[in-house]
A and B are shown apart, each in its own frame.
Chain A
Amino acid sequence: MPQSALLPLLGLNVRVQVHPVVLLSICDAYIRRNDKQERVIGTLLGTVTDGLVSVQRCYVVPHNESADQVAVDIVHHKTMLELHQKVAPQQTIVGWYSTTSSNVCSDALIQEFYAKEPTSSSGPIHLVVDTSLGGDRVDVRAYASRGLSLGDKALATEFVELPCNVLVGEAERVGLNLLVSGDHERGKPLADSEGLPESIARLQQLLATAQRYVEDVVAGRAKADPAIGRHLADTLADIPRLEPSDFERLFNEGIQDQLLVSYFANLVRSQVALAERLGTAALPLV
């Protein structure tokens, strides 16, 4: 009678968050790989808090793989780890990544190798970025491994998919907006003056969505949700009611402040230019 297969629970509350830098680096590494290689692998660095694995940096590790063997350049891996930790000492190895979607058997070996590294308690994460563009999108998936053993003998390693999302921080969102609108042929010049129209457009979109929802509810097309209704009512009540004269006053004061600063700035600039002319003209040639 076979003993029951032991499936150790592997902290199934683990979630993975990936920073976009990591994904772009992986794409870049894939493009730069050697001719004979089909895929690239590398190490992921990041932090782990409370079951949330945050992947923030990565670096490529050269490797060779054939049908049944895989060789990873360990020296390179260790050197890069040291170098990265000099810059960001609080980041640790959280796993590794690779760029094809098929889990070949060498993955298990590599996973074991990374499991031996000092990683977090939940074991190394395996991130797969599908660069073959098979499904019309670039897929990003994260896996954790757990061993399947029969009694005492280890049978196989199973990769379990984890919920993974790409974290877009506030500052990165600015960068990503620029990247999205970039045209890869010509590149997009960095424009400083954009911003206000986009923000207003977004605000208008949100207002339109809210208005559509309210109209739908009133016409009976959508179910009314009291929480949303209360929220909308609160927000509308928060808008300050200004008498026209008050608004005029505020507006004038604001404009005056801005004009004053602008005047000062121009004054200083002309002062500097003037001083330069006078200064250099007055210097006696020694």
Chain B
Amino acid sequence: MATAAEVLKQTAPAAAESAAVVVRQVQLDGQVVLKIMQHCDGALPNIVTGQLLGLDVGALLEVTDCFPFPGGDDDTLDEQAGANYQIEMMRCLREVNVDNNTVGWYQSSSFGSYQTTEMIETFVSYHESIRKCVCLVYDPQRSARGQLALKAVRLKDAFITHFKEQKLTGKDLREAGISWRDVFVEVPVRIHNSSLAQALVADLDPAPRITAPDLERLDLGGAAYLTKTISGLIEGADDVLAEAQKISVYHRNLARQQQHMAQWLAKRRQENAARRAAGEEALPEEDPAAFKPIPEPPMLEQYLVVNQLAAGCERATAACQAGMSKLYVMQALQKGGAQA
């Protein structure tokens, strides 16, 4: 029974020679956007994922179709069943002339925090078969507030090579010059529609009524959102602090261990000198069993946590700017009303 990885390898685009070009822009079809929104909104509060299909054309990645993965909360769905689902779905879609190339996957996130180890592992496993893949992250809560929160993310190639070779110690990463900013790269997204779909959507243009997103945007009481954002920041700061503490503890332990080893070595040398003086055999100067090497805490966690915190800070700043502009508009209206 072919596994999903093999299927992916078979359907990998023959344009492997364009591997040196990185993805600079992602173009989404309108129906992909709506399908993703439908799937993620319907599955709240679970996190759901799905596959993206399309074409890669040089530096532009076109996503023309997508399908959802089953079993968000159904843990009994095992690997094999998931792979079967994927194979069946791709086969059926091929029969109706849908682009059969996997170009990535999409997932929903809560409040936009998506930087986890699982995501990196998924990226790397996709990278085995397709050189260029992106992940679309969709934030359903922010979309309910009136802005389409869809962004495309990919990993930097340098980081991927390092991850594969498992060279994730602090020394290696510093040598390679990879800081926490170099892990994820956000790729600009644009929406594109066929002419027929444009005609259809133009017919559907909704009437200019005030909608719930408008009410959210015009609402001046942003206190609840601010509180949530701040508690998110606090959690992020706690995580970063915990990671930093782990690193400092590790270094303290390492220093202490070095000290012990030095002392022990000095003692051994003294003993050996005494023994040689007494004419006995010298004991070996190395005793590996006494001092086990202390494992270094993984730098990857730290990078991811810092990434999340930085993203949270950016979101908070953006929300504050929006809030302040609203308040200033209100003030201007009030002043204008008072003068009139």
Contact = CB atoms under 8 A, between A and B. Distances in A.
A216 to B, nearest CB: 19
A265 interface: yes
Which of B34, B194, B322 has most chain A Cβ within 10 Å? B34
B84 to A, nearest CB: 10
A21 B310 contact: no
A266 B97 contact: no
Contact of A27 (B194, B222, B319): B194
Contact of B42 (A88, A178, A283): A88
Contacts of A32: 96-98
Contact of A180 (B39, B201, B327): B201
B313 A86 contact: no
A283 B211 CA distance: 54
B96 A261 contact: no
Interface in A41-98: 56-57, 59-60, 62, 73, 76, 79-80, 83, 86-88
B34 A196 contact: no
A170 interface: yes
Interface string B191-222: 11111111111111110111111100110101
Contacts of A242: 334
B160 interface: no
Contacts of A60: 96
Interface stretch (A1-9, A110-118, A199-207): A199-207
A262 B320 contact: yes
A100 to B, nearest CB: 14
A24 B197 contact: yes
B218 A200 contact: yes
B144 interface: yes
B313 A138 contact: no
Contact of A24 (B200, B229, B317, B331): B200
A204 B233 CA distance: 36
A142 to B, nearest CB: 16
Interface string B212-245: 1110011010110010011001001100100010
Interface residues of B, number: 106
Interface in B166-201: 170-171, 174, 179-180, 188-201
B75 to A, nearest CB: 14
Contacts of A224: none
Contacts of A59: 92
A58 B327 CA distance: 45
Contacts of B140: 171
Contacts of B321: 262
B338 A175 contact: no
A283 B251 contact: yes
B211 A173 contact: yes
A270 to B, nearest CB: 10
A79 to B, nearest CB: 6
A266 B75 CA distance: 40
B171 A286 contact: yes
A133 B179 CA distance: 55
Nearest to B236: A268
A105 interface: no
B189 to A, nearest CB: 5
B96 A29 contact: yes
A199 B218 CA distance: 7
B276 interface: no
B162 to A, nearest CB: 16
Given A25-B31, A87-B70, A31 B196 contact: yes
Contacts of B85: 83, 86
A198 B217 CA distance: 10
Interface in A1-30: 19-21, 23-25, 27-30
Given A27-B200, A180-B201, A255-B327, A261 B31 contact: no
B27 interface: yes
Interface string A192-215: 100110111011011000000000
A176 B204 contact: yes
A73 B30 CA distance: 28
Interface in A119-141: 131, 133, 137-138
B202 A180 contact: yes
B47 interface: no
A168 B213 CA distance: 13
Contact of B208 (A137, A189, A202, A266): A202
Given A179-B30, A199-B210, 10 more contacts: A19-B34, A21-B31, A31-B196, A76-B95, A176-B204, A182-B198, A184-B193, A187-B192, A254-B220, A258-B323
30 contacts: A19-B34, A76-B92, A87-B69, A87-B70, A88-B42, A133-B199, A138-B203, A166-B204, A170-B213, A178-B33, A179-B197, A180-B202, A180-B205, A182-B192, A184-B198, A187-B191, A192-B318, A195-B213, A200-B218, A200-B329, A206-B209, A257-B223, A257-B226, A258-B323, A258-B324, A262-B320, A265-B312, A265-B320, A272-B313, A275-B240
The 5 closest A-B pairs by CB, nearest first: A24-B31, A86-B70, A187-B192, A262-B320, A187-B190
Interface of B: 27, 29-31, 33-35, 37-39, 41-42, 64-65, 67-71, 85, 88-89, 92, 95-98, 140, 143-144, 146-150, 170-171, 174, 179-180, 188-206, 208-214, 217-218, 220, 222-223, 226, 229-230, 233, 236-237, 240, 244, 247, 251, 254-255, 306, 309-310, 312-314, 316-327, 329-331, 334, 338
